[in-house]
Chains A and B, each alone.
Chain A
Amino acid sequence: QSVLTQPPSVSAAPGQMVTISCSGSGSNIGKNYVSWYQQLPGAAPKVLIYDSTMRPSGIPDRFSGSKSGTSATLGITGLQTGDEADYYCATWDSSLSVVVFGGGTKVTVL
């Protein structure tokens, strides 16, 4: 049972948009920045979003992050087959004093 809750899976057709939610509490998302990671099949994870809304250099603007209260959201527009992957949110939990990850969301391009 993860501290951060993500939907197990989302899907959409190529070119469409998907959003992935990450729900937490006042001690984690409510107090701290969120980062998002993409893990392609058989590969190591890669950072997509940091500081809840910022994209590292090289990450296309099809990927976006937002945060409101105790929830964060990753958006992917113009969905491509290469976006099929697992996506994870992460943040610091100030009560537990640990880094917490969401359980992961599998994105399928129909």
Chain B
Amino acid sequence: EVQLMESGGGLVQPGRSLRLSCTASGFNFGDDAMSWVRQAPGKGLEWVGSIKKKVHGGATEYAASVEGRFTISKDVSKAIAYLQMNSLETEDTGMYYCIRVGYGSSWYFDNWGQGTLVTVSS
């Protein structure tokens, strides 16, 4: 059974940094693509970024709103995905979901964690 557990959320001041972790189990973490999606309070879903499958070189892609500030990485030995968030803004407040990406003919967001809440406020 695929399990994803996010951690690291909390209250942080604007301009500061925070690192979210996503502990994974139940699948071949080293080979699979992972994504982060966030949801501001009472709002819809917003893609944050993804790290591609190992066979695709593990490249990263980001939404324009976080490009240059956020970094996604994977520690395969620990089966943990990270979202490093720098220069945080109040607009970054929301629930952050870690996702294992599935593939049919194309990608989709297959398995979701329960999310971790990030609040950016002074």
Q: Which residues of A contact B (CB under 8 A)?
A: 2, 32-33, 35, 37, 39, 44-47, 50-51, 54, 56, 86, 88, 90, 92, 96-104
Contacts and interface: CB of A to CB of B under 8 A. Distances in A.
Interface residues of B, number: 23
Contacts, number: 66
A99 B97 CA distance: 15
Contacts of B75: none
Contact of A97 (B45, B61, B97): B61
8 contacts: A51-B108, A88-B44, A88-B45, A96-B64, A98-B63, A101-B44, A101-B47, A102-B44
Given A50-B108, A98-B61, 20 more contacts: A33-B104, A33-B106, A35-B109, A44-B114, A45-B37, A45-B45, A45-B112, A47-B102, A50-B104, A50-B110, A51-B104, A51-B106, A51-B108, A56-B110, A98-B47, A99-B47, A99-B50, A101-B44, A101-B46, A101-B47
